[in-house]
C-alpha cells in the first residue's frame, strides 16, 4: 500500500513515466534530503 501511494504521488507530479529511479526521487522529496551516491 505504501509503494502504491508513492507511485500515485509520482504520477500526480509528472514522474509516472520514469523507471524505478522515480521511487528514489519520491523518497527524496518526502524526506527533504538528497540521496548521495
Asked whether residue 6 is assigned to any structural domain, the reply reads: yes
Total number of residues shown for the chain:
37
* pLDDT of res. 37: 65
Band of pLDDT at residue 19, cut at 50, 70 and 90: confident
Asked whether residue 24 is assigned to any structural domain, the reply reads: yes
CA–CA dist 19, 10 (Å, integer): 11
In this prediction the pTM is 0.64
Residue ranges making up the domain that contains 16: 2-31
First to last CA, the chain: 28
The stretch 6-20 carries a mean pLDDT of 85
How many domains in the chain? Answer: 1
Amino acid at each position: 500500500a505504501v509503494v502504491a501511494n508513492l507511485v500515485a504521488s509520482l504520477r500526480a507530479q509528472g514522474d509516472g513515466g520514469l523507471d524505478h529511479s522515480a521511487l528514489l526521487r519520491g523518497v527524496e522529496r518526502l524526506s527533504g534530503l538528497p540521496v548521495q551516491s
